[in-house]
Homo-oligomer: A and B are copies of this chain.
Amino acid sequence: MSPRAYRLGRREADTEKTRARIVAAARRLLLSPRGFAESSIDAVAREAGVARMTVYHRFGSKRGLLQGIFDDLAARGGMSELRDVFRNPDPLAALSEFISVFTGFWTSGRVVIRRLHGQGVIDPALGEALREREERRREGLRVIVKRISEKEGRPRAAAFDDAVDTLFTLTSFETFDSLARGKRRPPDVTALVHRLALAAIRGEPPRGGNKPS
């Protein structure tokens, strides 16, 4: 009747290893040209050298597995550097670093992130989960923009949201994925985005009488 006390102890390391193996296998399959088509739970389990049921025990569902992959990417992909960014006293420099960090992150898991985002559009629940994680990026940008406007003294009201949302868009994966093509390497993308970002926070109205109709 009374359950006996039981801690995993040494076993915990093993279970973490299987979990990692599954995530790694899924990531590998997601990278393949056929992408999602090859990433059935069955295929992932085989690639990881594990039974199909184990995947369900660890992640509950395919959705859970995909969320696990994303979190794994975020953990490895240099997101930890964000702490340092906000320690920078110069907010404009912080913005620069912020952009660099995310360019790096998108680069590190480009194909996988692209597929995850795609699936996030198809599966509303997964999309919501991914969007939740992205909101931290927006929150970070709010802090930076606030500091900039305090320092430079530009307190226009609606302009604040415009600046934040614009920067959020400019630092999004989709923008990166669209710009990083042809001969343009990640640092070049960073430079491009940086220029646009400065234009966005400068907030000057268009001159020359070419108002959008």
Interface size, A (range): 35 or more
Q: Do B182 and A166 touch (CB < 8 A)?
A: no
State the CA gap A169–B170 with chains docked (Å). Answer: 9
Q: Do A97 and B213 touch (CB < 8 A)?
A: yes
Q: Which of B115, B196, B211 contacts A96 (CB 8 A)?
A: B211
A interface residues, Cβ below 8 angstroms from B: 33-37, 90, 92-93, 95-97, 99-100, 114-115, 117-124, 161-162, 165-166, 168-169, 172, 174-175, 178-179, 181-182, 184, 187, 190-192, 194-196, 198-200, 204-206, 208, 210-213
State the CA gap A100–B192 with chains docked (Å). Answer: 23
Q: Do A124 and B33 touch (CB < 8 A)?
A: yes
Closest 6 CB pairs of A and B: A118-B121, A199-B199, A174-B174, A169-B178, A190-B212, A194-B212
